[in-house]
Chain A
Amino acid sequence: MHPRRATLVAFCDTETGASRSRRIARHLAKCAKCREELGRIERERDQLSARTAEPAADVRQGLAAVLSAIAAWQEGRNGAAASELKARLRWQMETYFGSPAASALEGTGIRAEEMFGKASEMLEVFLGPQAAEAVSDDIFRGVDWAEPAGEICR
Chain B
Amino acid sequence: MPITRKSSLDGIESAPRWIVVFLGAYLIVHLFALYFWNMAGHAFSIEGTSGSTSALPVTAMAAVNLWLCLLVLRSFPAGAPLRRAWMLITCAAVAQAAAGALAQLLGSDWQLNPLLWGGQARAALVEQIRHGALIAGGPVQLALLAAGMLAALRVLRKFGFWVRPSAADWAVASIVYVFTLCRFGEAGAASLAGRPIGIEDWSSLAGLPFLCVLVLEALLLRQSVVHMGNGLISKCWAAFMCGIFLTGAGEMALWVIPHFSHAWPIEMIGSLITFPAAAAFALAPACLVAAQRRAIKPASDRPEGLATSVPALAP
Give residues in A with beta carbon < 8 Å to B: 84, 87-88, 91, 93-102, 104, 122-135, 137-138, 141
Contacts and interface: CB of A to CB of B under 8 A. Distances in A.
A84 B307 CA distance: 11
Contacts of B172: none
B234 A97 contact: yes
Contact of A94 (B1, B161, B229, B288): B229
A135 B297 CA distance: 10
23 contacts: A84-B312, A84-B313, A88-B306, A96-B295, A97-B231, A98-B230, A99-B230, A101-B161, A101-B227, A125-B82, A125-B159, A126-B82, A127-B295, A128-B292, A129-B80, A131-B295, A132-B295, A133-B1, A134-B3, A135-B295, A138-B295, A138-B299, A138-B306
A133 B291 contact: no
A124 B159 CA distance: 12
A137 B3 contact: yes
Main secondary structure of the interface of A (DSSP, over half): helix
A96 B1 contact: no
Interface residues of B, number: 35
Given A128-B76, A135-B295, A97 B229 contact: yes
Give the top 9 A-B pairs by smallest Cβ distance, nearest first. Answer: A98-B229, A128-B75, A131-B295, A98-B231, A131-B292, A97-B231, A100-B229, A96-B231, A134-B296
Nearest to B86: A128
A95 B309 CA distance: 11
A132 B80 CA distance: 13
Main secondary structure of the interface of B (DSSP, over half): helix
B303 interface: no
A100 B160 CA distance: 12
B55 interface: no
A49 B72 CA distance: 75
A130 B227 CA distance: 25
Contacts of A94: 229, 231
Contacts of A137: 3
Contacts of A127: 233, 288, 291-292, 295
A128 B71 CA distance: 11
B299 to A, nearest CB: 6
B81 interface: yes
Nearest to A132: B295
A129 B76 CA distance: 7
A105 to B, nearest CB: 9
Interface in B102-127: none
Given A127-B233, A134-B295, 16 more contacts: A91-B310, A93-B231, A94-B229, A95-B231, A95-B232, A97-B229, A101-B161, A101-B228, A123-B295, A124-B80, A126-B155, A126-B233, A127-B288, A128-B292, A129-B77, A130-B296
